Structure 1
Amino acid sequence: MAHYFVGDLQGCYREFKLLLDKVAFNPSKDEIWAVGDLVARGPDSLSVLRFFADEANSGRVVLGNHDLHLLSVYGGLKRAKPSDQLQPLLDAPDTGQLIDFIRHQPLVRELPEFNLVMTHAGIPPQWDLATLRHEAAAVSDVLQQDNYLDALISHMYGTDINRWSTELSGLNRLIYCINALTRMRYLHPDGTLDFDCKLPPGDAATHDDLRPWFTFNSKLPQQTQVVFGHWAALMGQTHNCRYQALDTGCCWGEYLTLLHLETDEKLTQQALSPR
Structure 2
Amino acid sequence: MAVYAIGDIQGCYDPLQRLLDLLRFDPAADRLWLVGDLVNRGPHSVEVLRLLHGLGEQAVAVLGNHDLTLLAVAAGQVKPKRKDTFQSILDAPDRDSLLGWLRHCPLLHHDSVLGFTMVHAGLPPQWDLALAQRGAAEVEAALRGPNYQDFLGRMFGSEPRRWKSDLSGYDRLRFTVNALTRMRFCTADGALSLAEKGPPGSQDKGLWPWFAVPDRHNTHLNIVFGHWASLGYYRAPGIYALDSGCVWGNRLTAIRLDDPQVPAWSVPALNLPPLPI
Whether the TM-score (by the shorter chain) exceeds 0.5 is yes
Which SS does the other structure have where 2:252 is aligned? strand
Contact 2:159–2:174 (CA under 8 A) maintained in structure 1: no
User: Is the aligned partner of 1:231 residue 2:228?
Assistant: yes
TM-score (norm 1): 0.95
How much does 1:221 deviate?
6.0
- In structure 1, the residue matched to 2:189 is 190
Q: How many residues were matched structurally? A: 270
How much does 1:75 deviate?
1.0
How much does 1:84 deviate?
2.1
How much does 1:51 deviate?
1.2
| Counterpart mapping for 1:132-143 below 5 A | 132-143=132-143
How much does 1:174 deviate?
0.9
- Candidates 250, 254, 259, aligned match of 1:254: 250
Over the matched positions of the two proteins, sequence identity in percent amounts to 43
How much does 1:88 deviate?
1.1
Which SS does the other structure have where 1:67 is aligned? helix
Rounded Cα–Cα distance in structure 2 between residues aligned with 1:167 and 1:107 = 21
How much does 1:9 deviate?
0.4
User: Is the aligned partner of 1:208 residue 2:205?
Assistant: yes
- In structure 2, the residue matched to 1:160 is 159
Rounded Cα–Cα distance in structure 1 between residues aligned with 2:149 and 2:163 = 24
How much does 1:2 deviate?
0.4
- Candidates 265, 268, 271, aligned match of 2:266: 268
Which SS does the other structure have where 1:209 is aligned? coil
How far does the alpha carbon of each residue in 1:86-127 deviate from its partner, in whole angstroms, 9 at most, with x for none?
Answer: 211110001111111111111000121122100000111111
- In structure 1, the residue matched to 2:43 is 43
Which SS does the other structure have where 1:203 is aligned? coil
Rounded Cα–Cα distance in structure 2 between residues aligned with 1:69 and 1:141 = 17
Q: Give the unaligned 5+ runs of structure 1.
A: none
How much does 1:129 deviate?
1.2
- In structure 2, the residue matched to 1:93 is 93
User: Is the aligned partner of 1:66 residue 2:66?
Assistant: yes
- In structure 2, the residue matched to 1:110 is 110
Bigger shift: residues 41-50 or 84-93:
84-93
Contact 2:159–2:175 (CA under 8 A) maintained in structure 1: no
TM-score (norm 2): 0.94
Rounded Cα–Cα distance in structure 1 between residues aligned with 2:148 and 2:262 = 38
- In structure 2, the residue matched to 1:81 is 81
Which SS does the other structure have where 2:201 is aligned? helix
Q: State the Cα RMSD in Å.
A: 1.2
Q: Give the unaligned 5+ runs of structure 2.
A: none
Rounded Cα–Cα distance in structure 2 between residues aligned with 1:170 and 1:39 = 28
How much does 1:191 deviate?
1.2
Which SS does the other structure have where 1:52 is aligned? helix
Which SS does the other structure have where 2:8 is aligned? coil
Instruction: Kindly provide the amino acid, as one letter, of the partner of residue 5 in structure 1.
Output: A
